[in-house]
Structure 1
Amino acid sequence: MLSVQVAADRRLTAREVPEPVPAPDEAVVEVLASSVNRGELALIAMRGEGWRPGQDVAGVVAAAAQDGSGPARGTRVVGLAEQGAWSERVAVRASRLAEVPVNVELETAAALPMAGLTALRTVRSLGSILGAKVLVTGPRGGVGSLQVQLARLGGADVTGLVRAPGSGESESGFVSDLGDGGAFDAALDAIGGDTLRAVVGSLRPGGKVVWFGSGSAEPTALSIYDFVGHEGVSISTYFSYVQDPLQDADDLGVLLRLVEQGTLQLDIDSRWPLTDAQTAMERMSASGVRGKVLLTAIA
């Protein structure tokens, strides 16, 4: 079968590899779509030749887990693999797979796992946000766009921070400058650097920041004096790899129901065949990406 690997020159190439050998608690999924996450771009730069990227996976169970857990053979599923999801088939822990409703396309579902779980869990970590003013940095990206929607579903008044003003009714509530003073009760930050410092300055005393990304690739310079007028503001971090994988199926089920109901919209930027993984990665690295970049099965 074909699987995308890191070549000696750090570029991605699709090569023939052996079929996956699942552990007793793993199912083999016939992959119909996967998505490219920004975190994987960093891993590709770090890992050695032969490493196989890819976590988000949507497809059909080709072989159910031998221990009897998880979805049965033939079930349409979405989930998270440890790695190697940019393949024709991949072994995935059954506890990390959720059944996809019949009226939700698998390509749509493929945009959910990492971005959706990050959005759901970071919004959830804010606690009750009914009536709260919440700031989301990077609201046009795969995670940020979902955070905006989920926070609004939770009853928050949401503002998105963008690099430049957008246009169109769908971008109402977006700003390019935070201004001065404490306007927000909570914030979700994917940028870090000077932006995180500005976010702290935008919060009311006792506000909360959940910091889950470093899109600026810059250090954040904060002093105690940055919290004058914003006393009690707390900063907590979110890392996907420390989350309980036994919760993945249930949380994906929550997201899938919202998609099925039409209350959660997923933006797809572009679709590329598995053999064009390098192009897909370059697209994800480019500026102006709106939503998720997908890799799809070869016809």
Structure 2
Amino acid sequence: MRALLNGPEGLYLAAAPDPRPRADQALVTVAAVSLNFGEIAYRSATSGTRVSGWDAAGIVTQAAADGSGPPVGARVVTFGWGGAWAELRAVDTGNLAVVPDDVDLGIASALPVAGVTALQALRRLGSVLGRRVLITGASGGVGRFAVQLAALAGAHVIASVSSAQRAAGLRELGAAEIVSGPAELTAPVYGVLDNVGGAQLAEAFYRLEPDGVAQAIGRAAREVTVIDFEVAGTNSARGRLENFNVATPFGPDLALLLQLVRDGRLTAQIGWRGSWEQAEHAADMLLSRQITGKAVLDLGS
């Protein structure tokens, strides 16, 4: 099979061994993959035949031998900590979901890491009905899902972005306010979903309500976070800062997100889509923040 491999000069297409699924894995012919900031920013520049990639959607070519999962021919979206950037993927049946016929596979491929991360992090805040929730890095893949899901949950959503250009479309997704950083907040917030880290995470923590919760999700700023608890003050010091880690299996959460997409209540914000032959170009644009939302690569015929 062909796959996207990572070498000193970036992503390139080359031959790689076909995966050999375990009994609890399905073999999927991949139609589309989506890129995530984390897997691009922290990739190692080593050549070889190890296939990277987290998110992929396609068609089941070989059903799991143990009888779990969907049959041959099913359209599925899949997750795993590797193996997505290839024509074939072996995936645990617990980490896939069947894609409705009226949902495009490229759109489905944008859901796993970004969508499930946003969903699970929002759950960690508890009930947000009527509460103020700040989402930093709101223009990115996780951020745009988080804005929509928090608004659906009844939150007063405050989207933080680096520029007016990257704020485009966020109000339509459910943002009640848009700021250029936590320092612009006019009142404390109950919850924070932080995708940036560094100084922004510290500023957001200082602005928590008593007993508020901040979820540290990502490190887009690639900065160390330093929190001065004396600056935080009496109220914010009673808030909680939690290091968020996504939990598997993804299957049930993917099924929920797909149903929301099908019902028109959630949109996969795809800022760039093209052939996987343009993978390095897409990766460069993602890292330089020229893409809002997700980047999707189509494998073609």
TM, length-normalised to structure 1:
0.93
| Structure 1: distance between partners of 2:80 and 2:290 | 28
2:125 alignment partner in structure 1: 126
Q: Could you say which residue in structure 1 is the equivalent of 2:259?
A: 257
Task: Show the counterpart of 1:295.
Answer: 297
Contact 1:82–1:92 (CA under 8 A) maintained in structure 2: no
Q: Post-superposition shift, 1:48?
A: 5.4
Give matches, 1:187-202, under 5 Å: 187-202=192-207
- Partner in structure 1 of residue 241 of structure 2: 235
Q: In the alignment, is the contact (CA less than 8 A) between 1:6 and 1:48 conserved in 2?
A: yes
**Change in CA separation of 1:23 and 1:150 when aligned onto 2, cut-off 3 Å:** same
Q: For residues 249-283 of structure 1, what are the alpha-carbon distances to aligned partners after superposition, in whole Å with 9 as ceiling and x for unaligned?
A: 11101101100100001111112222222122112
Q: Is the 1:180–1:201 Cα contact (8 Å) retained in structure 2?
A: no
Distance 1:288 1:13 in 2: 21
Deviations 1:73-95 (A, max 9, x none): 00000010331211111111111
Task: After superposition, give the CA deviation of every residue in 1:214-247 in whole Å (9 maximum; x if it has no partner).
Answer: 111111121221221423111001123xx132xx
State the match for 1:244 in structure 2: 248
In structure 2, how many angstroms separate the alpha carbons of the residues matched to 1:260 and 1:194?
Answer: 38
Number of aligned residues:
294
* 1:33 has 2:32 as partner: yes
Q: Which of 173, 176, 192 is equivalent to 2:177?
A: 173
Match of 1:103 in 2: 102
Correspondence for 1:3:
3
**CA distances 1:162-218 after superposition (whole Å, capped 9, x unpaired):** 112346653652111433675211111011111111101222122110001111111
Match of 2:17 in 1: 18
Please give the per-residue CA displacement for 1:46-93, whole angstroms capped at 9, x wherever unaligned: 655433211101010000011111011000000103312111111111
Q: Write the letter of the residue equivalent to 1:285.
A: L
In structure 2, C-alpha distance between the alignment counterparts of 1:167 and 1:54, rounded to whole Å: 28
Aligned to 1:267: 269
CA contact (8 A) 2:17 2:49 kept: no
CA contact (8 A) 1:184 1:204 kept: yes
Alpha carbons 1:187, 1:199 under 8 Å: kept: yes
Q: Report % sequence identity.
A: 36
SS at 1:173 equivalent: strand
> Given residue 193 of structure 1, which amino acid in structure 2 is its aligned partner?
G
**Residue 18 of structure 1, CA deviation:** 2.4
The 8 Å contact of residues 197 and 225 in structure 2, kept in 1 or not, is answered as yes
Say yes or no: does 1:93 pair with 2:81.
no
Report the counterpart of residue 157 of structure 1 in structure 2.
Answer: 156
1:184 corresponds to:
189
- Distance in 2 (CA, whole Å) between partners of 1:190 and 1:47 is 27
Give the TM-score of the pair, scaled to structure 2.
0.92
Provide the secondary structure at the position in 1 that maps to 2:205: helix
**Take 1:142 and 1:92, find their aligned partners in 2: how far apart are those partners?**
23
CA distance in 1, matches of 2:137, 2:41: 18
CA-based RMSD of the aligned residues comes to 1.7
Alignment partners' CA distance in 2, 1:42 and 1:52: 16
Distance 1:109 1:46 in 2: 28
